[in-house]
Structure 1
Amino acid sequence: MDQGLIIEGISFQGHCGVTPEERSSPQPLLVDLEFSCSSEDAIQTDMLAKTIDYAQVSDRVVDIGRSEECALIETLADRISRVLLAEFPIDTLRIWVRKAKPPLTHVLGSVGVRLTYRRSQLSQIVEMGGSRPSSFLVKYASQIPPGRVLDLACGTGRHALYLAKQGYEVVGLDRNTEALAALSKAAQERHLPNVKGWELDLEVDSENPPSLGNNEFSGVLVFNYLYRPIFSSLLKALKPKGILIYETFIIDNHHQYQHPRRKEFCLEHNELLQLATGMRVLHYEEGQHPDPIGTSPPYTARLVAQKV
């Protein structure tokens, strides 16, 4: 059984306009969403966990809308759609993005664009911008010894696919079934049998985080994800001399872009160094770094460290 969920009038101040002058000042933008997903489990259990949370979706739209700077409203609508399809089990997505007060003399209402996406298009959507690996990974991937690599919270797998092309055996771990399915399909299309998916929710029990194995991996990747209780399991999973490559948001990004919405999902300054205590730090930096998916450079911490 499928259900259609609707969110109307998600509002935020965004930077969207053809001219630099129009983009320089925030303007009111509105987003309406209609999306379909399976509803049988939700109806039977009456549990929010079995369906899509309206609040999470709307918060994610606002996060993207505030942080992006686009010349075309079509581009903004596409970027929002790519993220929602990658992060939520949506089968079909209809999105309407519009300027509430367009700078047009004879227009009293709004102007905008409507787009429709389907789950079958997900791999194509990833190719449009989200499949490029981080330049940070590309620079330091050669530090990882030959063997198996764990891509933690891999999403649709842009980094897993990149390392598989370099000859590594890659395990992409994520709790999102749809994202893992997209990764599997992309690996098949690229003839990469050395990519495997691992469905696991890391955050079920913060007191007893799941094991990721002992001395299992030559390398571990973590990008744009922070769950502090899993860090000890992550380090145990690395083989001696194994390499950890980690990049995620620092608190400056929350202050600048209000993303992530909750600041506990951001690292404090030098916190990543503290979490990696006992490892040999090969490279560390904090600051604004280009992101191949977006146009507004996020504030992140970057770490390359070796297990001793």
Structure 2
Amino acid sequence: MAPRIIIERLECYGRCGVTEEERRTPQLIAIDVEMEAAVDAAGLSDRLDETIDYARVAERLVALSGSLTCRLLETLAEQLVGMLFAEFPVDRVQLWIRKLHAPLAMVAGSVGVRFERTRTAQQAGPSPAPFLTQQLGRLPKGRVLDVAAGRGRHALHLLSHGMEVEAIDRDSLALTALKEAAEERQLSGLTTRVLDLEEKPDHPPSLGRECYDAIVVFFYLHRPLFPVLIDALKPNGILLYETFSIENYFRHQHPRRWEFCLAQNELLRLTAPLRVLHYDEGEHDGGHGSGPCYTARLVAQKAGPELLR
């Protein structure tokens, strides 16, 4: 068995929260990390350079946590895990990150997320949501917009099928990682744009008019954005959308706020101008590797000349 290097309850401050107020003030967070690495020789040589320097690991975790501003702990955890694989010779990482003083009156303890990742899985990247692979044949092979793309698990899948993809996200580090992953896989056709869709909560920025053959949105919900998405679709363009339903909040308490979940049939109402090609609500595999979740899933088409006859 490979040696395990463990750091328990590393405390530092980070700017992480759904609301702007939460992100404005650093909050106390705790990080537990367990790393497996092929460092058997260190026990015989007694040399620090033949193992992982846990003091250096702690320094980097604290430095990176303090430099980032994220809405979700999941985003922060992804960045920390990515750094560990990039900078240290670890084969497997288990990480638990949590807010020690959660802004929730009913929670007496901490709230957080746990990640487990192998180097092989990290290099391969997370798989796309099954709904995207199932419905891929409905997407026209043209220009596709990936909204809230993050590190690009869906953008990379679309690029691998010969599509031209524009990925937008407010996280510049995630988009940089996406570009690097596309280059490593020799995938062409990617453009990225750093864009905060919620900078003005009730007035999202324009995404252009009739610019995209398809738009994909996964696990992101900002209700004022829907008219903008519809406006950005070309005639006959396809919107592919999946995100959490309110049932997931009640069953799994995720996302942390119910406002980020869709009510029953709400996705149909938000996309009423479009022609529905597929819609369902229920328990699905979201492709996150964390088990099934309750989502609403939609494929809808914008009217074109032939649909208006």
- The TM-score with structure 2 as length reference comes to 0.65
Q: How far off its partner does 1:292 sit?
A: 2.5
Letter in 2 for 1:37: L
Match of 1:297 in 2: 292
1:256-295 equivalent positions in 2, closer than 5 A: 256-295=251-290
CA contact (8 A) 1:148 1:171 kept: yes
Q: What CA distance in whole angstroms lies between the structure 2 residues aligned with 1:162 and 1:37? A: 28
Secondary structure class of the residue paired with 1:141:
helix
- The TM-score with structure 1 as length reference comes to 0.65
Q: How far off its partner does 1:36 sit?
A: 1.6
Q: What CA distance in whole angstroms lies between the structure 1 residues aligned with 2:30 and 2:183? A: 39
1:89-100 equivalent positions in 2, closer than 5 A: 97=96
Q: What CA distance in whole angstroms lies between the structure 1 residues aligned with 2:121 and 2:196? A: 25
Match of 1:52 in 2: 69
Is 1:137 the counterpart of 2:132? The answer is yes
Secondary structure class of the residue paired with 2:69:
coil
Compared CA separation, residues 267 and 38, structure 1 to 2 (3 A): closer
Match of 1:148 in 2: 143
Secondary structure class of the residue paired with 1:140:
helix
Q: What CA distance in whole angstroms lies between the structure 2 residues aligned with 1:301 and 1:169? A: 26
Q: How far off its partner does 1:224 sit?
A: 0.3
Q: What CA distance in whole angstroms lies between the structure 1 residues aligned with 2:151 and 2:120? A: 11
Compared CA separation, residues 207 and 8, structure 1 to 2 (3 A): closer
Match of 2:206 in 1: 211
Is 1:201 the counterpart of 2:206? The answer is no
Count the aligned residue pairs: 229
Q: How far off its partner does 1:9 sit?
A: 5.3
Larger radius of gyration: 2
CA contact (8 A) 1:246 1:304 kept: yes
Secondary structure class of the residue paired with 1:136:
helix
CA contact (8 A) 2:275 2:301 kept: yes
Is 1:82 the counterpart of 2:78? The answer is yes
State the Cα RMSD in Å.
Answer: 3.5
Q: How far off its partner does 1:38 sit?
A: 8.6
Match of 1:35 in 2: 62
CA contact (8 A) 2:152 2:167 kept: yes
Q: What CA distance in whole angstroms lies between the structure 1 residues aligned with 2:259 and 2:80? A: 22
Q: What CA distance in whole angstroms lies between the structure 2 residues aligned with 1:34 and 1:83? A: 10
Q: What CA distance in whole angstroms lies between the structure 2 residues aligned with 1:165 and 1:10? A: 36
Structure number with the bigger relative contact order (C-alpha 8 A, sep ≥ 6) is: 1
Secondary structure class of the residue paired with 1:150:
strand
Compared CA separation, residues 230 and 124, structure 1 to 2 (3 A): farther
Match of 1:238 in 2: 233
* 1:215-243 CA-partner distances (Å, limit 9, x unpaired): 00000000000001111111111001000
Q: What CA distance in whole angstroms lies between the structure 2 residues aligned with 1:224 and 1:169? A: 21
Unmatched runs of 5 consecutive residues or more in structure 1: 12-31, 40-49, 65-79, 99-114
Q: What CA distance in whole angstroms lies between the structure 2 residues aligned with 1:96 and 1:140? A: 33
CA contact (8 A) 2:65 2:80 kept: no
Q: What CA distance in whole angstroms lies between the structure 1 residues aligned with 2:221 and 2:120? A: 27
Compared CA separation, residues 268 and 83, structure 1 to 2 (3 A): farther
Q: What CA distance in whole angstroms lies between the structure 2 residues aligned with 1:235 and 1:212? A: 10
Match of 1:42 in 2: none
Compared CA separation, residues 247 and 198, structure 1 to 2 (3 A): same
